[in-house]
Structure 1
């Protein structure tokens, strides 16, 4: 079981580094492969995403692709909302959460596939960015999926360029995961040892994913991210019906 989860951490990191949506795979793996309860799976995943956030931020910052003003405003809203999301985990039916996330992800993927609808913005109005960060922080901490999973689809719908959205998603993992761990840690729902192993493996793969994303032309990155968003959206719709 441990080996299977460690192997899964590789595609998780690759997808986080490339298009930002890989984190959605980790909590279900901890539930279905590791036998974790939902809060423990979300808390342990959040701890692992601290590692991918640090490495992803450094990888994108090194090449000047992080839209710092946008990322900072998103983080301002995400941090406090992440604590709330962690504390109410288990009160909201998982089916509702996954269907909402699936709808957003499918919508963003379909939107990005439309000709000329990819968007090229690297900034948003302050209020829009803070509110977006709060929604993403709450939803991501609630599910333990990491910031980019929800942030990238939402930014896509708001017209933000694909590379800027993925780069901003790397930075937002840091305050979001830290505050989510704070919330889950108060109930003993974080397995730090396993989370560290998964985080280190995934973080190493993030570097390769970030390198791949930077080398892709904008149009091709948009196509790749659209296809993966659609795939993740379908996965989210089937997730509640997988056997525990």
Structure 2
């Protein structure tokens, strides 16, 4: 991997750690900067997402146990909420893979871009207490996970870019929403990586090379986010959502 690609993957990890969004940059970076074929880049990127999601899950469990040991209420999303979301996402991803041939893919990609733009504008311009409200109940999260899993399989994107706009629209506390968005990477990337490995499409060495700077950037981004006010974090998320939606829409329309 070139130094330019390494720096951009590190930046993507930084964005993931701060807002859960940024992984969408990996495949374009590999393809445009290092000339890696898409068929090789996508499975490697998905595998790197799996390792980042596992690191995020480990950090989440550690924070929960630390809070309980110190007699403080756990922060972030409740464990039951995350498990319900992951279960729905896994079922949705499987159903999406089976139904992909009948789906209008371009229209879905454009809808995804519009959703990211709208959610980013809401985060930036609609004045609302970022930590107001509570996460949706587990049954609702399972249904949301089902929809996110379907959308991820149909569009080839990770869960956060689909899930965050929905959670923000439901007034989910911002930091809980980011934690849940990171958590859905595990079932989506895990299922896809298993299929890619079985089909002989996974370049394990490239996946590990991607994962190292991605996780390093994620750790830095997580540390930065923990020191930011919720309002500032919401602004950063809004800007990243709008930039991603704009780039994604232009990319779909011009390719």
TM-score in terms of structure 2 length:
0.83
Q: CA deviation at 1:130?
A: 0.8
Alpha-carbon distance, 1:139 to partner: 2.4
SS in 1 for 2:82: helix
2:171 pairs with 1:159? yes
Matched, 1:145 2:157: yes
Instruction: Classify the secondary structure of the residue corresponding to 2:15.
Output: helix
Which residue pairs with 2:114 in the alignment?
A: 103
Distance (whole Å) between structure 2 residues aligned to residue 13 and residue 4 of structure 1? 14
Indicate how the Cα distance of structure 1 residues 165 and 219 shifts in structure 2: closer, same or farther if over 3 A, else same: same
Query: Residue 147 of structure 2: which of 135, 150, 163 is its match?
Result: 135
Total equivalences in the alignment: 242
Q: How does 1:209-220 map to 2 (within 5 A)?
A: 209-220=221-232
Query: Judging changes above 3 Å, is the alpha-carbon distance between structure 1 residues 86 and 10 closer, same or farther for their aligned structure 2 residues?
Result: farther
Are residues 2 and 93 of structure 1, via their aligned partners in 2, closer, same or farther at CA, if it must alter by over 3 Å?
A: farther
The whole-number CA distance in structure 1 between the counterparts of 2:2 and 2:156 is 19
In the alignment, is the contact (CA less than 8 A) between 2:119 and 2:241 conserved in 1? yes
Residue 22 of structure 1: how far off its partner (Å): 0.5
Once residues 202 and 86 of structure 1 are traced to their aligned partners in structure 2, the CA distance between those partners, rounded to angstroms, is 26
In 2, the alpha carbon distance for the partners of 1:203 and 1:139 equals 25
TM-score relative to the length of structure 1: 0.86
8 Å contact from structure 1 (residues 98, 239) kept in 2: no
Q: Which residue of 1 aligns with 2:76?
A: 66
For residues 171 and 159 of structure 1, do their structure 2 counterparts lie closer, same or farther at Cα, with a shift above 3 Å needed? Answer: same
What does residue 248 of structure 2 align with?
236
Change (3 A) 1:11 1:88: farther
* Conservation of the 8 A alpha-carbon contact between 2:12 and 2:23: yes
1:147/1:20 Cα in 2 relative to 1: closer, same or farther (>3 Å)?
Answer: same
Q: Which consecutive residues of structure 2, in runs of 5 or more, have no partner in the other structure?
A: 65-74
Q: Quick check: which has more Rg, 1 or 2?
A: 2
1:36 matched residue in structure 2: 37
Matched, 1:181 2:193: yes
SS of structure 1 residue aligned to 2:133: coil
Measured at CA, do residues 45 and 124 of structure 1 come closer, stay the same or move farther in structure 2, by a change above 3 Å? same
1:69–1:123 Cα contact (<8 Å) kept: no
> Which 5+ residue runs of structure 1 have no aligned equivalent?
none
Q: Cα offset for 1:2?
A: 4.3
Provide the residue aligned with 1:5 in structure 2: 5
